[in-house]
Structure 1
Amino acid sequence: MVSSRGILAAAFISMAAVSISPAQADIVVVTGVNNQGTDNVLLDPATNVSLVTGTVGPNDLVVNFTSTSGTGLLSANPSGQATVSGGTGNTSLTQLSFDLANNDTFTRAVFNINAASNGSVLIHVEGVNINGGFFEDDFTVNANGQNFFTVTSINGQLMTDISLTAINGATFEDVRQVRLGGFETVGAVPEPSTWAMMILGFAGVGFLAYRRRAQGQALRLV
């Protein structure tokens, strides 16, 4: 028979495992374009806003674009190649992130970084999955407006957002032709502390049930 100490020890071991287990990223970023299984992000027109939005896919999932560049203001041109750039007076970008609203996730992304006349620019590309794991690497983009990237998650991972950052003081002009695919809506993922409290709660219920069974057996022996 499992003792109450054994139950509590197992609960604490499980709690520790939740808090220290590493998240696996399984996100691959490559240069070039592979549009298979992706849909165009349709941008809403905007000028000098802190949040650019758009929709994607047959269910019109909401896409959010934000930036920490300068004042953080962005502009969006939905026509032609559908570009997201810096706000008026701050057209160059040092950083741009995009994600899906409402806890929606994706497994594929394609986008084109336009370095314009800035020459070769080193861009830090980072993709984050729903478990908090991430992939990151640096890529050189050239001043020809055709710097496509394809980001794919594998092994069942679901991406939540992608961030692009120019390093070494460089800038880029805009990000265009964004496509996303492999959509899935999931509930909010509990934090490790939440998991720990849930485990302790289950352990407490098990302990009470054990005590009641033990007390019942003691009464029958009297």
Structure 2
Amino acid sequence: MWITVLALAVAVNFEPMRLGLITVALSRPRPVAQLLAFLCGALTTSLGAGLLILLVIHHGLIKAVKFDGSVVQIVIGVVAILASAVLASNLKIPGFPRKPVPDNDISETGAPTGQPRVPAVVKRLAAHTKGLVRGSSPWFSAAMGVTIAVPSVDYIALLILIATSGSTLAVQTGALVTFVVVANTVVAVPIASFLLAPEKTRSAIMALRAWIAARSRRDFAVVLAVAGCVMIAVGVS
């Protein structure tokens, strides 16, 4: 159980969307306050949802369903490999651009030929979103933290693995807290670093984001596939 918890927690720190939102928070006024709000939103959502699911399973509200921890690990690995296959394809996925459009398919305006014009309501919504991003309210950063921490399929599968490990509720809660803390290291470290060297911290985060943005979908697919194979190996062993 602990190997899976730590492996997934470390991997979560390198999610492109998480790093992108952290960069957005750093670019807003009072970056330390923005990061603290982001961290509070993420911790509250992750811990709240996690504890709720653990308590539901621990108190036998779904005891009719029997889970094998090793099977759950294998399932997580298979899901990761399937996700890597999707990433390696040319399907449209938010945050992961597809292959570039050939030059002969681009009009004089720079947009792909045949692409519909953006409606006015969408333009107004985009302008309003830019206003929120450039604002100074930490509530927007907290909302970003909540968004990034909404329980995903792999997080729910991990909670099921923890809840069916046979450990006491205290140990299960410790595993959950460990996962959440390690998974948010990428947020906590810049807060401490920003207090000591704000400009260097901002530059380092920007450089890391640029490096990740330069990676192709297939690069992320390889990493995800390797993680999936590790999960399957742990489940089988």
TM category, shorter: under 0.3
The two structures have a TM-score, normalised by structure 1, of 0.19
**Greater fraction helix:** 2
Q: Which of the pair has the greater relative contact order for Cα pairs under 8 Å at 6+ separation?
A: 2
**Based on CA coordinates, which of the two structures has the bigger radius of gyration?**
1
**Greater fraction strand:** 1
